[in-house]
Amino acid sequence: MTAGGKVLYIDDDPGVRRLAQRDLERRGYVVELAGSGVEGVEKARDGDFDLIAVDHYMPGFDGLETLALLGELSPTPPVVYVTGSEESRIAVAALKAGAADYVVKTPDNDFFDLLDAAFRQALDQVRLREEKETVEARLRATNDRLQAMLHEVNHRVANSLQLVSAFVHLQAATVADDAARAALESTKQRIGAIAQVHKRLYSSGDVERVDMRDYLAALAEELEQTWSTPTSPRRVSVDAEPVRLRTDRAVSVGIIVTELVSNACKYAYSDGAAGEVRVTLKAAEGGAFQLNVQDDGPGLSVGDEPKGTGLGARLIAAMASSLQSEVIFEDAAVGVSATLVAAC
């Protein structure tokens, strides 16, 4: 681009064209002339212009028709519309048709001052738009790289957690003490709940939020496989809406569900009896969600002491606290219902 830019000036008046060329070249522009709309469009199609000026009153194609044809070119340089009329409707029509600006033609040098100012403003707009597109392209590239890195991190974390889970399972198989073995298996389940979050993150297009419907379905399948045996079948069903939670909140919900389902599978049904644990998740008012876990066991009795070590209850309370909420236990028509309401 030259100091002022390369200009195509379209006007049917040869005298005005010569004046425009002389004045604009004095201001640093390289100027090429066209005597009609048809000639101007042909030159614009073949030339590499930074700016185009189009006169309104021309025989054949007038300025608006010429402007419409110029708009079909790709890319279209900014067009400054020139009119000898001060009618606002013409200026409005030109701007609506895609002109960058308009200038009213006058017989004195003020016209060329205004034209120069309009040209420079149009060039500034082009430069700002190009800079904006460049910055946006760089931001998109940076974001793509970060997204790829986060996918890789989540993939590695999920694989590492699966490996740790396998080690814990192998260790549990070598322990003779029933309580120690149960504690190790519970630890394995908690690791699995966290690993499932990272699996969802690297297998989806969103590396910041987890689709809880998919996550809870996968978690329920793992819990069912863990607790169900041929002699004591356990079913874990999930009815969840596609609520999306941030990673840390999804982990907290996953641990809560793991502990509640595990407790129900262990204590709500006797050995040799079939049982079902139902997990529901739905959106609530005010951008919140509601989680419910319910079994069909004997329910709660007044004064009942927590069964097991009590670690599960402490984990549930801690995870609920991290969500700025608490889990409410109630006797349902059959069994126990545990409910949590928290912000998404």
Give the CATH number of the domain where residue 63 resides.
Answer: 3.40.50.2300
Q: What is the pLDDT of residue 183?
A: 80
**143 in any annotated domain:** no
Of the three residues 80, 105, 130, the one that is the final residue of a domain is 105
Of the three residues 105, 124, 144, the one that is the final residue of a domain is 105
Structurally, the chain folds into a number of domains equal to: 2
**164 in any annotated domain:** no
**56 in any annotated domain:** yes
Per-residue pLDDT of the chain (344 residues), as tens digits, is 455 789 999 999 999 999 999 999 999 999 999 999 999 999 999 888 999 999 999 988 899 999 999 999 888 899 999 988 777 888 899 999 999 999 998 877 788 999 999 999 999 988 898 899 889 988 888 777 767 766 666 667 777 777 787 887 788 788 888 788 878 888 888 887 777 777 766 666 676 788 999 889 988 988 998 888 888 899 999 999 999 999 889 989 999 999 999 989 888 888 888 999 999 999 998 999 999 999 998 876 655 555 656 788 888 999 999 999 999 998 877 888 999 999 98
| Structure tokens belonging to residue 343 | 């912000």
Q: What is the pLDDT of residue 154?
A: 67
Q: What is the pLDDT of residue 309?
A: 61
**22 in any annotated domain:** yes
Of the three residues 105, 131, 161, the one that is the final residue of a domain is 105
Q: What is the largest CA-CA distance in the chain?
A: 106
Residue from 260, 293, 295, 298 nearest 275 by CA: 295
CA 302/CA 268 separation, integer angstroms: 16
Distance of CA 182 to the CA centre of its chain: 42
Q: Work out the angle between the directed axes of helices 110-174 and 178-203 (0-180°, nearest 10).
A: 160
**244 in any annotated domain:** yes
**130 in any annotated domain:** no
Name the residue range of residue 235's domain.
228-344
CATH classification of the domain holding 297:
3.30.565.10
Q: What is the pLDDT of residue 115?
A: 92
**154 in any annotated domain:** no
**248 in any annotated domain:** yes
Q: What is the pLDDT of residue 334?
A: 80
